[in-house]
Amino acid sequence: MAKELANAIPRSETAWKKLGYEIVKKIKNWTIKQGKDVYGRPFKAYSKQYATHKAAGKFPRQSMVHAKGKPNFVLTGDTMGDLKVLDATRDSVTIGWAAWGHIIEGQAKRGRAVSTDDQPVAKHIIDFVAKNYLKQLDTNLRKTSSIVKYSIG
């Protein structure tokens, strides 16, 4: 039984990778579309000058899709476009920024935290990961467990 129970723990690189893609999608949605930081707070307002320049499209390589509206952590799209699944194993998935992580750290120091050491992802994403993991564990347990009958006497 111990061997079967050990196999119940989610151990698929593919499943971890799939979960990683879902996490990335949720972070991008939360950050860009909802305009909220990792703690669930709306991003700090832009300075008047920055907001005016962004709305007018005056920055080099600027994405005009997100030029107007509430602060959303997108100017060129490079930073959030760099967020991806970096690695997946039988035991875990690693997501992050391959090249633009320093921007994330700098923005967190300025009050625009997309991810921090103490809070890597927003609470609703943590809840999503836990629910997904437990669902996979339950599915695997149902496949490996069996009913054991004991007769006494």
**What's the pLDDT tens digit per position in 108-133?**
888 889 999 899 999 999 999 999 88
Find the mean pLDDT for residues 82-103. 92
Q: Is 131 domain-assigned? A: yes
The whole-number pLDDT of residue 140 equals 75
Number of independent structural domains in the chain: 1
Q: Is 30 domain-assigned? A: yes
The pLDDT > 70 percentage for the chain reads 87
Q: Is 149 domain-assigned? A: no
Q: Is 6 domain-assigned? A: yes
Is the Cβ–Cβ distance between 74 and 35 less than 8 Å? no
Q: Is 150 domain-assigned? A: no
Written in H, E and C, the secondary structure of the chain is CHHHHHHHCCCCHHHHHHHHHHHHHHHHHHHHHCCECCCCCECCCCCHHHHHHHHHCCCCCCCHHHCCCCCCCCCCCHHHHCEEEEEECCCCEEEEECCCHHHHHHHHHCCCCCCCCCCCCCHHHHHHHHHHHHHHHHHHHHHHCCCCCCCCC
Q: Is 151 domain-assigned? A: no
**What's the pLDDT tens digit per position in 17-45?**
999 999 999 999 999 999 999 999 999 88
Q: Is 13 domain-assigned? A: yes
Query: Dihedral of CA 116/117/119/122: which sign?
Result: positive
| Residues whose CB is less than 8 angstroms from the CB of residue 68 and which lie 6 or more positions away in sequence, other chains included | 54, 55
* Main-chain phi, psi angles of 110, to 5 degrees: -95, 10
Q: Is 152 domain-assigned? A: no
Is the Cβ–Cβ distance between 125 and 40 less than 8 Å? no
Tokens of 121: 């992802």
Structural domain boundaries enclosing 11: 2-144
State the pTM of this model.
0.83
Residue 95, beta-bridge partner list: 85
Confidence of residue 72 (pLDDT cuts 50, 70, 90): confident
